Chains A and B, each alone.
Chain A
Amino acid sequence: MNTERTNQEWLHDLNASGAIQEAAIADLRDLLLRAALYFFSRNLSDFERNNGDEISQRAEDCAQDALIAVMNHLSDFRGDSKFTTWAYKFAINIALMAARRERWKGVSLDALASSSEGDFLGPMLQDHSNGAAPEEAAMQGEVRRIIQDVIKHDLTDKQRDVISMVVFNEVPLDEVVRHFGTNRNAVYKMLHDARRKIKSSLQEHGFEIGEMLGLFGSSG
């Protein structure tokens, strides 16, 4: 196997025909398979219900999908990294989605979405409200109230659901994407818009982040 190609050689060989292209594709596929297996080997907890052969097959599938993605995007490669670095990211991206899918298979995300009522932050903060000095506890309560008000009144139902899933229940972004039939950019934008609104509201109420992090026990 020749993994020592320069970027230009990779592009030349992959765009060639016949034996040259076949060899380059075989080499690339081997590298993409290694990238997928490497991701899986670091995330075995996502595969608690799978045996080694099944994980191995998932990696093969990811490598094949990544190979297709790389070939379809060859013209996008700008040469600002090694070709292989650029190609690996496709395999790793596809492997991450596959791994998270395995982990969350069978979990009802509807149950992890929010309702428009209720105390969103209560479960997250109850550990910290115990033992705080009265003044601190009051400020914690104020921060909590402000954040909760924004979530309740300034976010859309969908934004609330996404916050509940991703922030409060640590559902992977790609599972939320799958649940809503959307894409990563759209979910990220919902989270970004929600953060902006909360940040703005906290600032309007005179809270600085250092103060808040101190309140909730973080050293920053």
Chain B
Amino acid sequence: MKSNRFERWLHNIHNTQDEELSCSECFDLVSHFVEVELSGTDPVVKMPEVKQHLDQCPACRAEYETLRDFQRLENEGKLPSVDDLQDLIH
């Protein structure tokens, strides 16, 4: 576990760019990024700087993954109701 953490950090160090998006800039762009991804286009080609930030920032990444999965459910007409979700947390 500890060594995995270190390896991840080495990857992060390797993928460090001189200029990176801030978390606020990523937040502004992430809904577009998700939209592109769910349309079937590779968002990395169109918005590589967002992908780079998501790979570096665990908080923004967790938000992105939730947003993507939740939006996918909506697109598929499978958005769970409040009652369904309440059942999951009780």
Is the Cβ of B89 less than 8 Å from the Cβ of A37? yes
- Say yes or no for B42: interface residue by CB 8 A criterion: no
Which residue of chain A is the closest to B71 with respect to CB atoms? Answer: A85
- Cα A93 to Cα B56 in complex, Å, equals 17
- Cα A74 to Cα B73 in complex, Å, equals 24
Interface flags for B1-37 (1: CB within 8 Å of A; 0: not) read: 0110111011111101010101110011011101100
- Say yes or no for A170: interface residue by CB 8 A criterion: yes
Is the Cβ of A213 less than 8 Å from the Cβ of B11? yes
Known: A37-B82, A185-B24. A56 touches B10 (CB 8 A): no
- Say yes or no for A33: interface residue by CB 8 A criterion: yes
- Say yes or no for A6: interface residue by CB 8 A criterion: no
Query: Which residues from chain A contact B82 at a C-beta distance below 8 Å?
Result: 30, 33-34, 37
- Cα A85 to Cα B57 in complex, Å, equals 20
Is the Cβ of A38 less than 8 Å from the Cβ of B3? no
Is the Cβ of A93 less than 8 Å from the Cβ of B89? no
Which residue of chain B is the closest to A167 with respect to CB atoms? Answer: B9
- Cα A195 to Cα B88 in complex, Å, equals 39
Known: A56-B86, A92-B66. A172 touches B59 (CB 8 A): yes
Is the Cβ of B59 less than 8 Å from the Cβ of A184? yes
Main secondary structure of the interface of B (DSSP, over half): helix
Query: Quick one: which of A37, A128, A172 contacts B58, CB cutoff 8 A?
Result: A172
Is the Cβ of B57 less than 8 Å from the Cβ of A202? no
Is the Cβ of A199 less than 8 Å from the Cβ of B13? yes
Is the Cβ of B23 less than 8 Å from the Cβ of A88? no
Shortest beta-carbon distance, B38 to chain A, in Å?
A: 8
Which residue of chain B is the closest to A43 with respect to CB atoms? Answer: B62
Shortest beta-carbon distance, A101 to chain B, in Å?
A: 12
Is the Cβ of A216 less than 8 Å from the Cβ of B3? yes
28 CB contacts below 8 A, A to B, read A34-B70, A37-B82, A38-B85, A52-B86, A52-B90, A80-B31, A80-B32, A88-B31, A96-B59, A96-B63, A124-B2, A124-B5, A124-B6, A168-B5, A173-B57, A173-B58, A184-B23, A188-B23, A195-B16, A196-B18, A198-B13, A202-B13, A209-B10, A209-B11, A209-B14, A216-B3, A216-B7, A218-B10
Residues of B within 8 A of A (CB): 2-3, 5-7, 9-14, 16, 18, 20, 22-24, 27-28, 30-32, 34-35, 56-59, 62-63, 66-67, 70-71, 74, 79-82, 85-86, 88-90
